[in-house]
Amino acid sequence: MTSLSSTASSLADVTTSDAALRRFLHGLPGVDQVGVEQRVASLATRSIKTTAKAYALDLAIRMVDLTTLEGADTPGKVRSLGAKALRPDPTDPTCPSVAAVCVYPDMVPYAVEAVTTPGGRLHVASVATAFPSGRSSRSIKLEDTRDAVAAGADEIDMVIDRGAFLTGRYLDVFEEIVAVREACARPDGSRAHLKVIFETGELQTYDNVRRVSWLAMLAGADFIKTSTGKVQPAATLPVTLVMLEAVRDFRASTGRMVGVKPAGGIRTSKDAIRYLVVVNEVAGPDWLDPDWFRFGASSLLNDLLLQRTKMSTGRYSGPDYVTLD
Amino acid sequence: MSTPFEYAPAPESRSVVDLRPTYGLFVGGEFVDGHADPLKSVNPATEEVLAEVATADADDVDAAVRAARRAYQRTWSRMSGSERGKYLFRIARLIQERSRELAVLETLDNGKPIKEARDVDVPTAAAHFFYYAGWADKLEYAVAGGGTPQPLGVAGQVIPWNFPFLMLAWKVAPALAAGNTVVLKPAETTPLSALLFAEICQQADLPPGVVNIVTGAGATGQAVVSHADVDKVAFTGSTDVGRSIARAVAGSDKRLTLELGGKAANIVYDDAPLDEAVEGIVNGIFFNQGHVCCAGSRLLVQESVAEEVLERLRRRMGTLRLGDPLDKNTDVGAINSSAQLARIRELVEAGEAEGAERWSPPCDLPERGYWFAPTLFTGVSQAHRIAREEIFGPVLSVLTFRTPAEAVEKANNTPYGLSAGIWSDKGSRALWTAERLRAGVVWTNTFNKFDPASPFGGYKESGYGREGGRHGLEAYLKGADQ
């Protein structure tokens, strides 16, 4: 049985063959569905008020990957998204910027331009690898990645081959993540950060979520991410909890910290605060940082802003008092 | 664990509860004076006196039993089942309507976290009334043998302080559904929610005398269970008191059910879903500060995963939030009384003296009130007192086993037999184990799950009789042939 006490060296051995990788992933402790959902329900009753709420709202804003992934995206749409990302609340200079904007590869140059200021710039994340289905040849996926990195993307959000995972070809999935990670390299020797999207709505079981989390971390993922936002269900609290347990246990056995990004379906401040409670109590406070936890979201930001204004003024404003994008 | 995400206090408001300075007994549908020395009910989290409560002497108990007998003969046993059911449904709805008030009062008087009173005690109590309300007009299906079963008469019921309101519901709902009337004695440290229930009975227009509540300590309870005109005695509490009640009732034609102590084994196999098992261990022993007769107070963990389970358990215990029970984020509340705190301390000292290793997470205890930090003992053997005696506090004894047969043997090696837990991803192993455990309730991959439709009760020194479900109704009925 694998455990926290597995050493880093024994982990290196598990990716030497398909059989070894399967033995390792199938040897991970199971996840009890009823138990995990009960745990989430209990954490969801935490009552976050006053100073704690103010802290959580600002932290959540700083963790947003403000996202537009539409076929109808244009440079204009991306520019206004960038402006919103920099100054989410133009009326309040104390309101923090979001973590990053997240766009399709061809929109990366416009996004970079939009989030660059004299004082520095926000991160630009690009989806890649034939997002969202991932159904393309590996060479196309790698080229897609290189293209986005060359255009200036700081972070690459790749999708795994869910078909390969579900048929048990774990080593294929592993090798593809390793290859995409290599494609994230820049000429100067640095590397774009790699987020690995599982599309947990297609993997379905919590056991699969735990296995794919370990698989991606073993392959070198910097972040593990729930969903593309194009498949229902997208992010859920129990799925995110299982992923947070995985990064916690991975750090305990290897010393390396991996980030977590739930994406899709998180729309309200209340939802976001519930996620932060789960981060705090399951992975631990070290993950309460935009470097280690992100929200992939679009409409969430405006609800966070409305709540933030309510905290400071005592009144709710309306949707017309926050900018559309 | 230090965190920048400090949860600000989120106290539930006390204003929803209208505490009176003094409370009387509830006899014949009215509040009356008691004739023994009144007692003071204390908030165990602050040691603040909440109210002065009358106590019943033998004459007061006699008056309550007479009121119950009158109500039994004149109205309640003659009423049709569907009419009785209407009253019970009404009571259930009133419990829901006044749930916040009941929850806050329970937390004030008992010390349990508001989230437990709010999410478990009060809703489950309402569920019991709803469930038995539905049985009231279907009693011919409750007892084997055919014919319409008959109520027993007056039930004398004595309940404990750990779930004051829920235990009241467990006792009162089936008794009333079956057509009995009751004289109920709540615990001396937690009488207040029962007295609020008396108000609910008034509000529901329950015929006077169907429910009578006599407050007091041991002497009052003694008077209830040994009263000559009580037909049925139901007790939940310690095995010692249960024994003395069994002696008092022996030789009479009173029916008796006892729900007594426990020292439940929570068995974790090496193929268990470990994170959820850790949640189940925490829930099993720290829920309600371990003041739970079916608490999973003995962790039996397979040696091959013992170290990993303990590592995860210690980390999880570090996130438990102990403090103001009215704070909605509190996980572990106050110990119910100084007497109980003294008993926990005594057993924990015995555990250390016998050589077990004691551990608690860093945990600031409030200065006032009765508190005990969540505690773990490792290196415990079957011979230690902390492995054999019921501590009834937030103290977990960890033992290990090597094979399923050894797990079962150790789990059963106790004079008690109330509950047990099994954690395994392998269904056949869980079933194999459950078949061999001598415990009234066995949970698999969960713990402390209660449902009104499910019977609950013990083996051996954990008592006899079942509460909940159809079985719970049988304890308040005699068949047509009896």
Report how far residue A148's alpha carbon sits from residue A144's, in angstroms, rounded to the nearest whole number.
Answer: 6
Domain of A19: which CATH number? 3.20.20.70
Evaluate if residue B440 carries a pLDDT over 70. yes
Is A52 in Cβ contact with B7 (below 8 Å)?
Answer: yes
Domain assignment present for residue A36? The answer is yes
Q: Choose from A4, A7, A32, A239 for mutation: most chain B CBs within 10 A.
A: A32
pLDDT in tens, A237-281: 999 999 999 999 999 999 999 999 999 999 999 999 999 999 999
Residue among A32, A55, A276 whose CB faces B273 most closely? A32
What was the pLDDT predicted at A324?
Answer: 75
Spatial contact of A237 and A253, defined as CB atoms under 8 Å apart = no
Is A30 in Cβ contact with B271 (below 8 Å)?
Answer: yes
Is A280 in Cβ contact with B279 (below 8 Å)?
Answer: no
Domain assignment present for residue A324? The answer is no
| Same domain as B82, residue B200 | yes
What was the pLDDT predicted at B480?
Answer: 56
* Nearest CA among A112, A114, A148, A116 for reference residue A130: A148
Q: How many whole angstroms from its chain centre is CA B395?
A: 18
Report how far residue B269's alpha carbon sits from residue B273's, in angstroms, rounded to the nearest whole number.
Answer: 9
| Same domain as B183, residue B111 | yes
Domain assignment present for residue B204? The answer is yes
Evaluate if residue A94 carries a pLDDT over 60. yes
The residue of chain B with its CA nearest to that of A286 is: B3
Evaluate if residue B482 carries a pLDDT over 80. no
Please state the domain count of chain B: 2
| Same domain as B345, residue B254 | no
Evaluate if residue B123 carries a pLDDT over 90. yes
Taking the CA of residue B247 and the nearest CA in chain A, the distance in Å comes to 43
| Same domain as B236, residue B310 | no
What domain range is A100 assigned to? 8-319
Residue among B9, B276, B308 whose CB faces A5 most closely? B308
Domain assignment present for residue B194? The answer is yes
Per DSSP, B442 falls in state: E
Domain assignment present for residue A216? The answer is yes
Please state the domain count of chain A: 1
Return the structure tokens found at B24: 């009387």
Evaluate if residue B2 carries a pLDDT over 70. no
Q: Helix (H, G, I), strand (E, B), or coil: what is residue A147?
A: helix
Give the confidence band of A8 by pLDDT, cuts at 50, 70, 90: low
Q: What DSSP string runs through B393-433?
A: SSEEEEEEESSHHHHHHHHH-SS--SEEEEE-S-HHHHHHH
Q: In chain A, pLDDT over 70 holds for what percent of residues?
A: 97
Domain assignment present for residue B220? The answer is yes
Taking the CA of residue A238 and the nearest CA in chain B, the distance in Å comes to 12
Domain assignment present for residue B7? The answer is no
Q: Name residue, tokens 């996202």.
A: A67
Evaluate if residue A3 carries a pLDDT over 60. no
The residue of chain A with its CA nearest to that of B320 is: A281
pLDDT in tens, B271-308: 999 999 999 999 999 999 999 999 999 999 999 999 99
Q: What is the average per-residue pLDDT within B10-17?
A: 95
Give the confidence band of A119 by pLDDT, cuts at 50, 70, 90: confident
Q: How high does pLDDT run on average in chain B?
A: 96
* Secondary structure element (H or E) that encloses residue A141, with its range: helix A138-150
Evaluate if residue A18 carries a pLDDT over 80. yes
Chain B residues lying within 8 Å of A286, measured CB to CB:
none
Evaluate if residue B15 carries a pLDDT over 70. yes
Here the ipTM equals 0.92
How many Cβ atoms from other residues are within 10 Å of residue B48's Cβ? Answer: 11
What domain range is B408 assigned to? 265-444
Q: Helix (H, G, I), strand (E, B), or coil: what is residue B169?
A: helix
Evaluate if residue A305 carries a pLDDT over 80. yes
Counting DSSP H helices and E strands in chain B, the numbers are: 16, 20
Q: What is the average per-residue pLDDT within A211-217?
A: 98
Q: Return the active site residues of B.
A: 259, 293
Q: Treating both helix axes as pointing N-terminal to C-terminal, what angle do B81-97 and B192-203 enclose, rounded to 10 degrees? A: 120
Domain of B134: which CATH number? 3.40.605.10
Domain assignment present for residue B407? The answer is yes
pLDDT in tens, B78-104: 999 999 999 999 999 999 999 999 999
The residue of chain B with its CA nearest to that of A43 is: B329
Is B4 in Cβ contact with A285 (below 8 Å)?
Answer: yes
| Same domain as B211, residue B62 | yes
